[in-house]
Structures are given as C-alpha cells and as structure tokens.
C-alpha cells in the first residue's frame, strides 16, 4: 500500500531513539521529509547519522520557547510545510498513590500534557496549510487500563487521551487527531531494567520471556519499536483519511477492556 507520504513533511518529537526513531526511519522510507527533535545531544547526533536527509534539532518539549524555535527552524527548512506531527515523549513513573509526592504529580502531569500542548501550539499554523494534516499522539494503554503501581502516569495518560479526543473535534475537518495506545514495547527503560536484573546469568531472551509471561501478554513477547511505528505511519497518512478521534492499541493483546 502507498501511504501517500511522497513529498510530504513530518515532525517527530522524541525522535532520537526508540519508537520515535523507528517512526522517523519508516516515514523517510515512505518518501516523507522528516524533522526530529530530542533533548540528548549525543543521541540526537547518532539518530541524525541514521536518518540521511532528516533535520535534527535539540529541543526540550517542556520549554515553550525552545519548541517555538524548533517550529521556526522546521518552517524555514520545509518552506512552511507540515503534514504530520507525531508527539512522542515521556516514559512511565512507577509509583503508588502513597509513594507519589506532590512534586512528582506536578512533574508527571506537566510532562504528559505539555509535551503535547507546547508542540501542537507551535506547529498548528503550519498544519493548517496542509491538505492532509494529521497529528498522532503516542499514548499508553494505561490511559484506559490503569495500573495501581503506576497511578500517577495512568491518571496523566487518561487526561492526555481526553485532550486528544477533544482536539479531534475542535480541529476538524482540517486536522485529523488520533493516538496509539502502547502496551509493553522494548525501549531504553526495559533495557536498563534488564541490565540491572537480579540474576545476571539470565539471558536477554529468558528475562524478556519471563516478563511477557508475568504481564500475561497473549503474544508472549514485548513489542519492537518498529511495530508501533508502523501504526503511527498509517494513522498519520492520507491512507487513513477518514479516521480521526480514534485510538489504536498496539499491546500484543494485553488489554482487558472491550
């Protein structure tokens, strides 16, 4: 299937690693011009080397001035064009209600909300000039299936899902807004947990397999970054032109709700 990205422009936040980097690679392969941002200078440089022709800009999405600068750089680079915005930032916080401080709550809510809000504010004028504009928010299954050991992140994710649903109505018909809901996907945080495993003799395959079994994932494994990236590429493309306000689970079947 031709997703229709040839000649189009996409921005991917958090594009220097994991799902963001995988998404940028797929979009480039589909013919899009791609701009990414990330906070870590070294990771961003490595990502830039892996994405020939892409624009890479260091940016903290919680800094509104930095995001505005990123948008200005993209606008100059693309001639003012933008067709797809992928908001992909932030990892989960493991904590219960009892162990989450007020400062932790504030930090988590700021990260989850303003990593969407600042970026959408900055890039919306460019999207409004596109004939096939789309926003895809990378969210978590926690938004609809909260976990007690991640109470703070679950609440923030639910709020973001409500925000994206509202924007799908407010921005219609000009800009489509959709999201993906992630289950467990192999990422830096899981790689760090593997490195710190209790039994250092346990292989990567065995450790990840035990994790999947413990989480009762029907597909019996964690997702690879390329798998949600393909879902993002579809939802953000002209091929999904009649889809807005939707959420697509990419969870290996671990969801329990209907």
**β pairing state of 33-38 and 9-12:** parallel
* Distance from the first to the final alpha carbon of the chain: 29
Residue 140 lies in a domain: yes
Residue 213 lies in a domain: no
- Give the CATH number, domain containing residue 149: 3.40.50.720
Residue 193 lies in a domain: no
pTM: predicted TM-score of the whole model, two decimal places: 0.95
Checking if the pLDDT of 84 tops 90, the result is yes
Give the count of domains, the chain. Answer: 1
Cβ atoms of 9 and 78 within 8 Å: the answer is yes
Residue 69 lies in a domain: yes
CB atoms within 10 A of CB 135: 27
The one-character DSSP state at 239 is: G
Quote the longest CA-to-CA distance of the chain. 55
- Express each pLDDT in 122-165 by its tens digit: 999 999 999 999 999 999 999 999 998 999 999 999 999 999 99
User: Lowest mean pLDDT: which of 21-25, 111-115, 130-134, 207-211?
Assistant: 207-211
pLDDT of residue 203: 87
pLDDT bracket for residue 188 (50, 70, 90): confident
- Express each pLDDT in 101-130 by its tens digit: 999 999 999 999 999 999 999 999 999 999
Helix, strand, coil content of the chain in percent (nearest 5): 45, 15, 40
Residue 145 lies in a domain: yes
Residue 24 lies in a domain: yes
Rounded to whole angstroms, the Cα distance separating 14 from 44 reads: 9
SS3 of 63-110? CHHHHHHHHHHHHHHHCCCCCEEEECCCCCCCECCCCCCHHHHHHHHH
pLDDT of residue 187: 79
What number is the average pLDDT over the span 215-236? Answer: 96
Rounded to whole angstroms, the Cα distance separating 121 from 16 reads: 22
Q: How many CA atoms lie within 13 A of 45 on its CB side?
A: 3
Residue 109 lies in a domain: yes
Checking if the pLDDT of 91 tops 80, the result is no
What range does the domain containing 53 cover? Answer: 9-185+223-250
Residue 17 lies in a domain: yes
pLDDT of residue 41: 95
The one-character DSSP state at 176 is: E
């Amino acid at each position: 299937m031709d997703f229709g990205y040839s000649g189009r422009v996409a921005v991917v936040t958090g594009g220097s690693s994991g799902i963001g980097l995988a998404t940028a690679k797929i979009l480039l392969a589909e013919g899009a011009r791609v701009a990414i941002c990330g906070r870590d200078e070294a990771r961003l440089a490595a990502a830039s080397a892996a994405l020939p022709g892409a624009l890479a800009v260091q940016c903290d999405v919680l800094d509104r001035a930095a995001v505005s600068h990123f948008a200005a750089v993209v606008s100059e680079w693309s001639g003012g064009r933008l067709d797809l915005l992928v908001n992909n930032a932030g990892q989960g916080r493991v904590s219960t209600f009892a162990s989450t401080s007020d400062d932790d709550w504030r930090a988590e809510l700021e990260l989850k909300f303003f990593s969407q809000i600042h970026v959408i504010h900055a890039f919306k004028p460019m999207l409004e000039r596109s004939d096939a504009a789309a926003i895809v928010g990378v969210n978590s299954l926690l938004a609809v299936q909260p976990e007690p050991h991640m109470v703070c992140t679950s609440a923030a994710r639910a709020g973001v899902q409500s925000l994206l649903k509202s924007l799908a109505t407010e921005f219609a018909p000009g800009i489509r807004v959709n999201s993906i809901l992630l289950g467990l996907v192999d990422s830096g945080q899981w790689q760090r947990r593997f490195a710190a495993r209790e039994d250092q003799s346990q292989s990567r395959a065995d450790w990840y397999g035990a994790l999947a079994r413990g989480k009762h994932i029907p597909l019996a494994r964690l997702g690879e970054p390329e798998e949600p990236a393909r879902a993002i590429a579809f939802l953000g493309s002209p091929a999904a032109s009649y889809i807005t306000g939707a959420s697509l689970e990419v969870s290996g079947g671990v969801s329990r709700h209907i």
